[in-house]
Amino acid sequence: MNLRFAVITLLYVVVFTGCAKGSDTVAIPITPQTLTILVTNDDGIGAPGIDALVEGLLKLDDVVVELVAPAENQSGSSDKTTKGDLISEDSTTASGYKGTAVYGYPADAINVALEDRGISPHVIISGVNAGQNVGPFAALSGTVGAARTAAKAGYPAVAVSASPFIEYADYNAAVELVTDWIEVNRDALLGGSANADTVTSFNIPGCTTGKIRQLVSVPLAESIAEDDGARLFKTDCSLESKSPPTTDVDALVKGHAAVTDVPLNL
């Protein structure tokens, strides 16, 4: 074992678990295999989607989860940023995980995390958003906007979104897609070779009946037809499709989870 590795393995970071609900702190050893994940969203730090995401990420082995998110709902803010100084304060998710709340846009939260807080993550995850960000919605989305801001800064970034209707928003399924992606890409993330040229965007259908169909890799739709729009957020996932999905919108309408490479400039 060389001296550098020996020193690194003796370093510790204090993270708040319980998970950070006022219980004792837990010391987690930092090693070269520890993955640092920065989490943000556009629904606000107290939203249920980001709470589910953080709790799911904490179940992974050898990770540190940093949390910096808007203090309030900033849906539809794309990648807007605020001129001048920003106010931020200590806050928590609904389950009590400690982080920083930024009084600004989702892209502001990314800049505060990277520049003011000096966080250097291996990957940045934005979500889980209340409302699927597919087709033309991706350009307007603060969830995707935060991820695009992160990727433009050179960090691999993931956006993840579910139905806006809480009774159909399967946050657990959305989080599972993200954690599976992290496990598949962990070595590349740790080694600095993971792609940051696009944003990896996951979207989950809101199944009113039936179960979510398998994940498909599809491009961003250029538009949303009126009929598709009516079935986009609430989907009968029990219906059999006569053809494979061709876009992210088509995938959700047909009950599939979708993964899409989103350009950084929309």
Residue 21 within any structural domain of the chain: no
Residue 187 within any structural domain of the chain: yes
pLDDT tens figures, 157-191 = 999 999 999 999 999 999 999 999 999 999 999 99
Average pLDDT, the chain: 90
Residue 228: which domain range?
A: 33-263
Residue 222 within any structural domain of the chain: yes
Q: What are phi and psi of 100, to 5 degrees?
A: -120, 130
H helices within the chain, ranges in order? 3-10, 48-57, 106-111, 137-140, 142-152, 171-191, 226-232, 248-253
Instruction: For the chain, state the CA radius of gyration.
Output: 18
Collect all residues with Cβ–Cβ distance below 8 Å to 83 and sequence separation of at least 6: none
Residue 246 within any structural domain of the chain: yes
Q: Looking at residue 103, which CATH number applies to its domain?
A: 3.40.1210.10
Q: How many domains does the chain have?
A: 1
Residue 23 within any structural domain of the chain: no
Lowest model confidence (mean pLDDT) among 8-12, 187-191, 223-227: 8-12
Residue 15 within any structural domain of the chain: no
pLDDT tens figures, 18-72 = 344 433 444 556 778 999 999 999 999 999 999 999 999 999 999 999 999 999 9
**Range 248-255 average pLDDT:** 96
pLDDT for residue 12 is more than 50: no
pLDDT tens figures, 115-174 = 999 999 999 999 999 999 999 999 999 999 999 999 999 999 999 999 999 999 999 999
Q: Rounded CA gap, 65 and 37, in Å?
A: 5
Residue 25 within any structural domain of the chain: no
Q: What is the DSSP string of 81-147?
A: --SS---EEEEE-TT--EEEEESS-HHHHHHIIIIIS----SEEEEEEEES---TTHHHH-HHHHHH
The amino acid present at 121, given as its one-letter code, is P
Residue 5 within any structural domain of the chain: no
